[in-house]
Amino acid sequence: MTVGTASFTAAKDSSSPAYAIAAAGTSGLTAGVLKFAATNDAITLNRVALQLTNTSTSSATDLTKVYLYDGATKVGESLFTGSATTTAVTVSGVTIPKDGSKVLTIKVDAASMDATNASTLEGAFIAVDLDGDGQAGSTYGTSSSGASVTPTLTDTAVAGFRVFKSYPTFARIAVPSSTLVAGTMDLYRFSVTASPSTGNGIGIQTFTVQPITLL
Protein backbone atom coordinates (compact mmCIF):
# COMPACT_ATOMS: atom_id res chain seq x y z
CA MET A 1 0.00 0.00 0.00
CA THR A 2 1.23 3.48 -0.87
CA VAL A 3 0.44 6.26 1.60
CA GLY A 4 0.75 9.73 0.11
CA THR A 5 1.35 10.82 -3.44
CA ALA A 6 4.25 9.20 -5.27
CA SER A 7 6.87 11.73 -6.35
CA PHE A 8 10.55 12.00 -7.16
CA THR A 9 13.27 14.61 -7.57
CA ALA A 10 16.59 14.85 -9.38
CA ALA A 11 19.69 16.96 -8.70
CA LYS A 12 23.42 16.99 -9.28
CA ASP A 13 25.09 14.41 -7.04
CA SER A 14 28.02 15.33 -4.82
CA SER A 15 30.18 12.83 -6.76
CA SER A 16 29.78 14.80 -10.00
CA PRO A 17 33.31 15.51 -11.30
CA ALA A 18 35.18 18.82 -11.12
CA TYR A 19 36.17 20.79 -14.21
CA ALA A 20 38.61 18.87 -16.40
CA ILE A 21 40.44 18.93 -19.73
CA ALA A 22 39.76 16.17 -22.25
CA ALA A 23 41.12 15.06 -25.62
CA ALA A 24 38.90 15.23 -28.70
CA GLY A 25 37.78 11.85 -29.99
CA THR A 26 37.64 10.34 -26.49
CA SER A 27 34.72 8.02 -25.67
CA GLY A 28 33.03 7.54 -22.31
CA LEU A 29 33.88 10.90 -20.72
CA THR A 30 32.00 11.46 -17.46
CA ALA A 31 30.07 14.71 -17.89
CA GLY A 32 28.12 14.64 -14.63
CA VAL A 33 26.36 12.53 -12.02
CA LEU A 34 22.66 12.84 -11.15
CA LYS A 35 20.87 11.69 -8.00
CA PHE A 36 17.20 10.69 -8.21
CA ALA A 37 15.17 10.37 -5.00
CA ALA A 38 11.65 8.87 -4.69
CA THR A 39 9.05 9.56 -2.00
CA ASN A 40 6.06 7.41 -0.93
CA ASP A 41 6.56 4.81 -3.68
CA ALA A 42 9.16 3.19 -5.88
CA ILE A 43 9.52 4.92 -9.25
CA THR A 44 10.52 3.22 -12.50
CA LEU A 45 12.44 5.83 -14.45
CA ASN A 46 11.29 6.05 -18.08
CA ARG A 47 12.91 9.16 -19.53
CA VAL A 48 15.51 11.79 -18.59
CA ALA A 49 15.74 15.13 -20.39
CA LEU A 50 19.27 16.52 -20.87
CA GLN A 51 20.65 19.71 -22.34
CA LEU A 52 23.87 21.36 -23.47
CA THR A 53 24.30 24.37 -21.20
CA ASN A 54 27.49 26.09 -22.44
CA THR A 55 26.03 26.82 -25.87
CA SER A 56 28.12 29.98 -26.34
CA THR A 57 31.29 27.86 -26.55
CA SER A 58 30.01 24.44 -27.65
CA SER A 59 27.37 22.86 -29.87
CA ALA A 60 25.82 19.53 -30.78
CA THR A 61 28.69 18.82 -33.20
CA ASP A 62 31.16 18.62 -30.29
CA LEU A 63 29.56 15.36 -29.11
CA THR A 64 28.68 12.20 -31.01
CA LYS A 65 26.58 10.50 -28.32
CA VAL A 66 25.36 10.88 -24.74
CA TYR A 67 24.67 7.99 -22.34
CA LEU A 68 23.21 7.30 -18.91
CA TYR A 69 24.86 4.64 -16.75
CA ASP A 70 23.71 2.90 -13.58
CA GLY A 71 27.10 1.96 -12.20
CA ALA A 72 28.81 0.02 -14.99
CA THR A 73 25.53 -0.72 -16.81
CA LYS A 74 24.37 1.46 -19.69
CA VAL A 75 20.66 2.17 -19.22
CA GLY A 76 20.03 4.63 -22.06
CA GLU A 77 21.61 6.64 -24.86
CA SER A 78 20.75 9.48 -27.19
CA LEU A 79 22.42 12.26 -29.18
CA PHE A 80 22.14 15.96 -29.86
CA THR A 81 21.15 16.29 -33.52
CA GLY A 82 21.67 19.21 -35.87
CA SER A 83 21.56 22.47 -33.95
CA ALA A 84 19.60 20.96 -31.04
CA THR A 85 20.79 21.68 -27.52
CA THR A 86 18.35 19.31 -25.80
CA THR A 87 17.67 15.60 -25.98
CA ALA A 88 15.59 13.00 -24.14
CA VAL A 89 17.16 9.71 -23.08
CA THR A 90 14.81 6.71 -22.88
CA VAL A 91 15.80 4.76 -19.76
CA SER A 92 15.36 1.03 -19.13
CA GLY A 93 15.92 -1.11 -16.08
CA VAL A 94 16.16 1.68 -13.49
CA THR A 95 13.96 1.78 -10.39
CA ILE A 96 14.30 4.42 -7.70
CA PRO A 97 13.45 2.67 -4.41
CA LYS A 98 10.64 3.98 -2.22
CA ASP A 99 11.99 6.73 0.06
CA GLY A 100 15.42 5.99 -1.37
CA SER A 101 17.69 7.19 -4.15
CA LYS A 102 19.43 6.12 -7.34
CA VAL A 103 22.56 7.67 -8.87
CA LEU A 104 23.01 7.79 -12.65
CA THR A 105 26.12 8.93 -14.51
CA ILE A 106 26.03 11.04 -17.67
CA LYS A 107 28.75 9.98 -20.11
CA VAL A 108 29.53 11.39 -23.55
CA ASP A 109 31.66 10.67 -26.61
CA ALA A 110 33.60 13.73 -27.72
CA ALA A 111 33.81 14.33 -31.47
CA SER A 112 37.19 14.19 -33.15
CA MET A 113 38.83 17.35 -34.48
CA ASP A 114 39.66 16.68 -38.12
CA ALA A 115 38.52 17.55 -41.64
CA THR A 116 35.24 15.68 -41.18
CA ASN A 117 34.41 17.66 -38.01
CA ALA A 118 35.48 21.14 -39.07
CA SER A 119 32.88 22.77 -36.80
CA THR A 120 34.41 21.20 -33.69
CA LEU A 121 36.75 23.83 -32.28
CA GLU A 122 39.71 23.63 -29.92
CA GLY A 123 38.79 24.73 -26.43
CA ALA A 124 35.08 23.94 -26.70
CA PHE A 125 33.68 24.10 -23.15
CA ILE A 126 31.11 21.32 -22.86
CA ALA A 127 28.57 20.71 -20.10
CA VAL A 128 25.61 18.31 -20.20
CA ASP A 129 22.98 18.97 -17.55
CA LEU A 130 19.57 17.79 -16.46
CA ASP A 131 17.00 19.78 -18.45
CA GLY A 132 14.66 20.95 -15.72
CA ASP A 133 12.40 22.73 -18.23
CA GLY A 134 11.85 19.53 -20.19
CA GLN A 135 12.27 21.27 -23.53
CA ALA A 136 13.08 17.96 -25.29
CA GLY A 137 10.39 16.01 -23.44
CA SER A 138 9.91 15.95 -19.69
CA THR A 139 11.75 13.64 -17.34
CA TYR A 140 9.18 11.17 -16.01
CA GLY A 141 8.74 7.82 -14.33
CA THR A 142 6.03 5.31 -13.39
CA SER A 143 4.82 4.45 -9.90
CA SER A 144 4.13 0.88 -8.73
CA SER A 145 0.46 1.38 -9.60
CA GLY A 146 1.35 2.27 -13.19
CA ALA A 147 0.66 5.99 -12.84
CA SER A 148 2.92 8.39 -14.74
CA VAL A 149 4.90 10.67 -12.40
CA THR A 150 6.48 13.89 -13.65
CA PRO A 151 8.70 15.68 -11.13
CA THR A 152 9.19 19.40 -10.68
CA LEU A 153 12.84 19.95 -11.57
CA THR A 154 15.42 22.70 -11.95
CA ASP A 155 18.41 22.68 -14.28
CA THR A 156 21.60 21.28 -12.80
CA ALA A 157 24.97 22.99 -13.22
CA VAL A 158 27.79 20.49 -13.74
CA ALA A 159 31.39 21.71 -13.87
CA GLY A 160 31.93 20.62 -17.48
CA PHE A 161 35.13 20.00 -19.41
CA ARG A 162 37.14 21.71 -22.15
CA VAL A 163 38.20 19.74 -25.23
CA PHE A 164 41.49 20.05 -27.14
CA LYS A 165 43.18 18.00 -29.84
CA SER A 166 45.80 17.13 -27.27
CA TYR A 167 46.97 18.30 -23.85
CA PRO A 168 50.09 17.83 -21.73
CA THR A 169 50.32 15.47 -18.78
CA PHE A 170 53.12 16.06 -16.28
CA ALA A 171 54.67 13.37 -14.11
CA ARG A 172 57.44 13.46 -11.54
CA ILE A 173 60.47 11.24 -12.14
CA ALA A 174 62.80 10.08 -9.38
CA VAL A 175 66.24 11.72 -9.30
CA PRO A 176 69.34 9.45 -9.31
CA SER A 177 70.31 10.50 -5.80
CA SER A 178 68.81 12.52 -2.96
CA THR A 179 72.19 13.12 -1.30
CA LEU A 180 73.68 16.59 -1.72
CA VAL A 181 77.17 16.56 -3.18
CA ALA A 182 79.61 19.17 -4.42
CA GLY A 183 79.25 20.12 -8.08
CA THR A 184 76.24 19.54 -10.34
CA MET A 185 73.31 17.30 -9.42
CA ASP A 186 69.69 16.76 -10.41
CA LEU A 187 67.28 18.38 -7.96
CA TYR A 188 64.08 17.53 -9.82
CA ARG A 189 63.02 15.56 -12.89
CA PHE A 190 59.72 15.41 -14.72
CA SER A 191 58.21 14.18 -17.96
CA VAL A 192 55.69 15.82 -20.29
CA THR A 193 53.43 13.56 -22.36
CA ALA A 194 50.86 14.48 -25.00
CA SER A 195 47.46 12.89 -24.44
CA PRO A 196 47.82 9.44 -26.07
CA SER A 197 44.30 9.00 -27.42
CA THR A 198 44.61 11.54 -30.23
CA GLY A 199 48.14 11.10 -31.56
CA ASN A 200 48.62 14.89 -31.75
CA GLY A 201 51.89 16.44 -30.59
CA ILE A 202 52.21 19.45 -28.31
CA GLY A 203 54.57 22.41 -28.57
CA ILE A 204 55.83 23.66 -25.22
CA GLN A 205 56.61 27.36 -25.10
CA THR A 206 57.64 28.00 -21.49
CA PHE A 207 58.40 26.10 -18.30
CA THR A 208 58.16 28.13 -15.08
CA VAL A 209 60.31 26.91 -12.20
CA GLN A 210 59.53 28.06 -8.67
CA PRO A 211 62.57 28.35 -6.38
CA ILE A 212 62.40 26.78 -2.93
CA THR A 213 64.29 27.51 0.24
CA LEU A 214 66.19 24.62 1.78
CA LEU A 215 66.35 24.75 5.60
Domain chopping of the chain, boundaries: 7-164
pLDDT digits (tens, 9 = 90+) for 65-105: 999 999 999 999 999 988 889 999 999 999 999 999 999 99
Which is more confident, 169 or 49?
Answer: 49
Q: What class, spelled out in words, does domain 7-164 have in CATH?
A: mainly beta
The Cα 160–Cα 171 span in angstroms is 24
pLDDT digits (tens, 9 = 90+) for 135-162: 656 899 999 999 999 998 999 999 999 9
